A = this chain, B = another copy of it.
């Protein structure tokens, strides 16, 4: 699995997340409550609400692509308040991910990745992917999924995993 494969995995998974949000909106409508109530749901008083889980998942994907593919990440201010706006946030992130090609990641393994929160220290590109981008991306999408499941949205493992490129015979 190379770095481009990882970005494509993030792309696919954000599309899955977008589909969970659609199911959540349909669930809210069926139950006659505002879907945006779910947008503010969280699993603990000091845990991120759904809005911030979605924003964070998008940012993990966006920054991984930018750092490893050598492009400037576009600014996506965390201003979303509604499901409709979160859908747009996911769309903006996907549009950025779609600008990358496999060749952008040719030197990704050994790039020095120095995000501001490391305070001047850096990680090798390969280590950034394995120790930061992948665990954190899947953390935030799974927390979003968990918030929806905890609030009664009917999601299952195939919603989480999405389509699989299987072969027969």
Contact A130 B9 (CB under 8 A): yes
Contact A164 B132 (CB under 8 A): yes
Instruction: Flag if B127 contacts A134 (CB, 8 Å).
Output: no
Q: Is A36 on the interface with B (CB-CB < 8 A)?
A: no
> Using Cβ atoms and an 8 Å threshold, which residues of chain B touch A5?
126, 130
- Tallying the copies of this chain within the complex gives 2
Closest Cβ of chain B to A51, distance in Å, is 17
Query: Could you give, for residues 47-58 of chain A, a 1 whenever the CB lies within 8 Å of some chain B CB and a 0 otherwise?
Result: 100000000000
Report the count of interface residues on A (CB-CB < 8 A). Answer: 46
A53-104, CB < 8 A from B: none
0/1 string, A131-169, CB within 8 A of B gives 1: 110111011001101100110100001001110111110
A123 at interface, CB cutoff 8 A? yes
The 16 sampled A-B contact pairs (Cβ below 8 Å) are A1-B129, A1-B134, A5-B130, A8-B130, A43-B146, A44-B150, A44-B152, A47-B150, A118-B164, A121-B166, A123-B166, A131-B161, A131-B162, A131-B164, A134-B134, A138-B142
